[in-house]
């Protein structure tokens, strides 16, 4: 007889990220990958668009419509918008009618008890039958294929949009966790600030993100924005050296987060990590040269996961596919609709 907690093919895992939300459907894999953006009618609070459609409206909306990212630093800052976003994704992932799906949602390891309860309740109100939480670095480690249940240490650094999550894992649990609210968004903000200070030019977050992604191209990057003095369009070129200078402060903060985890690492696990290395996941893992920088600063081998952008979502999916085996990694549960 099946356990009452067994999952069905309607059940989904959600990597609720600051920058992007990925949805994994049991038996189908990753079915949605959308920006974590919501367009809201300012007067009524009605959600008008979610995901890619809403992102296109960022910076282009009339006064009656607000396009917002309801998560900052890896946590929910706008609960109503987040609920609307979750409702949209849950409905898009559902197969047929009937009871709502069971949902596994990832949360940063540094969330407070209040924030944890808010995520549980928000997902339940959005139509989930029950909600199970898993901490992001654990999901990332599972998705990257690390042997989290072995009695040996594994280390994962998940660099998302709003936070960097560092964890040392052994025997199915996190031995050490460290969360720093500096990641991809901080890199983008640092680039925008550098351009403003050095070229008196304002650029949007999408332009700053494009500049970040150009690092490693080997050629200067043309950047278009608005001249702060004249208000007219302006174009400048940024060298790789300039981009690295612009991102130095947040990169150093990521390195410090990894060092902080090492400082708390039990000696018994240190050798395991030296042998296996550090695995990088999340969009920030793709920043050119970051793996080499971390290897130099820590003296440890550093590897980028095979599919870093989807590791957390795949990890939630494996929790659905192997619920009995991975049940103890959940950090909270609530029953909803």
**Residue 5 — very low, low, confident or very high, per pLDDT cuts 50/70/90?**
very low
At 45 the pLDDT is 78
Cβ pair 160, 179 in contact under 8 A: no
Q: Which of 179, 190, 182 is nearest to 215 (CA)?
A: 190
**Residue 297 — very low, low, confident or very high, per pLDDT cuts 50/70/90?**
very high
At 96 the pLDDT is 58
Collapsing DSSP to helix, strand or coil, 180 comes out as strand
At 139 the pLDDT is 93
Q: Which of 101, 115, 18 is nearest to 312 (CA)?
A: 18
% of the chain at pLDDT higher than 70: 89
**Residue 327 — very low, low, confident or very high, per pLDDT cuts 50/70/90?**
low
End-to-end, the C-alpha distance of the chain in Å comes to 24
Higher pLDDT, 115 or 289: 289
**Residue 243 — very low, low, confident or very high, per pLDDT cuts 50/70/90?**
very high
**Residue 107 — very low, low, confident or very high, per pLDDT cuts 50/70/90?**
confident
Higher pLDDT, 244 or 40: 244
At 218 the pLDDT is 84
Mean pLDDT within 207-222 = 92
Q: Token digits for 305?
A: 């996961």
% of the chain at pLDDT higher than 90: 45
Cβ neighbours of 255 (radius 10 Å): 17
Q: What is the distance between the alpha carbons of residues 264 and 262, in angstroms, rounded to a whole number?
A: 5
At 156 the pLDDT is 96
At 114 the pLDDT is 83
Higher pLDDT, 47 or 304: 304
At 19 the pLDDT is 84
Q: Crossing angle for the helix pair 240-263 and 290-298, nearest 10 degrees?
A: 40
At 179 the pLDDT is 87
**Residue 95 — very low, low, confident or very high, per pLDDT cuts 50/70/90?**
low
Q: Mark 268-304 as b/e (b = at least 16 C-beta within 10 Å).
A: ebeebbeebbbbbbbbbbbbbebbebbeebbebebee
From 9-23, 178-192, 301-315, the region with the lowest mean pLDDT: 9-23
Strand partners, 173: 170
The yes-or-no verdict on residue 1 having pLDDT over 60 is no
At 236 the pLDDT is 95
Q: Token digits for 254?
A: 């990521």
pLDDT digits (tens, 9 = 90+) for 124-176: 888 888 888 888 899 999 999 999 888 889 999 999 988 899 999 998 888 99
Cβ neighbours of 313 (radius 10 Å): 27
What average pLDDT is seen over the chain? 86
From 16-25, 85-94, 234-243, the region with the lowest mean pLDDT: 85-94
Mean pLDDT within 200-222 = 92
Mean pLDDT within 262-276 = 90
Q: What is the distance between the alpha carbons of residues 277 and 131, in angstroms, rounded to a whole number?
A: 33
Residue 219 CB partners (closer than 8 Å, separation 6+): none
């Amino acid at each position: 007889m099946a356990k009452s907690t067994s999952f069905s093919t309607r059940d989904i895992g959600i990597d609720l990220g600051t920058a992007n939300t990925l949805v994994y459907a049991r038996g189908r894999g990753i079915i949605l990958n959308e920006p974590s953006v919501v367009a809201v009618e300012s007067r009524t609070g009605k959600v008008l668009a979610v995901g890619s459609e809403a992102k296109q409206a960022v910076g282009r909306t009339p006064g009656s419509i607000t396009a917002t990212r309801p998560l900052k630093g890896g946590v929910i800052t706008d609960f109503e918008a987040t609920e609307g976003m979750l409702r949209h994704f849950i409905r898009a992932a559902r197969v047929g009618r009937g009871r709502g799906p069971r949902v596994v949602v990832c949360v940063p390891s540094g969330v407070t008890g209040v924030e944890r309860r808010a995520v549980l309740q928000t997902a339940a109100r959005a139509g989930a039958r029950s909600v199970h939480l898993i901490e992001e670095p654990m999901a990332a480690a599972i998705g990257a294929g690390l042997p989290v249940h072995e009695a040996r240490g594994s280390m994962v650094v998940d660099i998302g949009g709003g936070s960097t999550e560092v964890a040392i894992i052994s025997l199915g649990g996190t031995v050490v966790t460290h969360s720093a609210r500096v990641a991809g968004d901080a890199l983008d903000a640092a680039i925008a600030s550098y351009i403003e200070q050095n070229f008196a030019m304002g650029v949007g977050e999408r332009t700053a993100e494009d500049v970040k992604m150009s690092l490693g191209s080997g050629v200067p990057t043309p950047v278009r924005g608005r001249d702060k003095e004249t208000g007219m369009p302006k174009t400048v070129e940024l060298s790789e050296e300039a981009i690295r200078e612009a991102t130095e402060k947040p990169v150093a903060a990521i390195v410090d987060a990894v060092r902080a985890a090492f400082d708390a690492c039990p000696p018994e696990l240190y050798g395991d990590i030296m042998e296996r290395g550090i695995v990088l996941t999340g969009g920030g893992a793709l920043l050119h040269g970051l793996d080499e920088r971390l290897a130099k600063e820590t003296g440890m081998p550093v590897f980028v996961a095979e599919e870093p952008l989807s590791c957390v979502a795949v990890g939630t999916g494996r929790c659905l596919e192997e619920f009995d085996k991975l049940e103890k990694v959940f950090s909270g549960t609530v029953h909803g609709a």
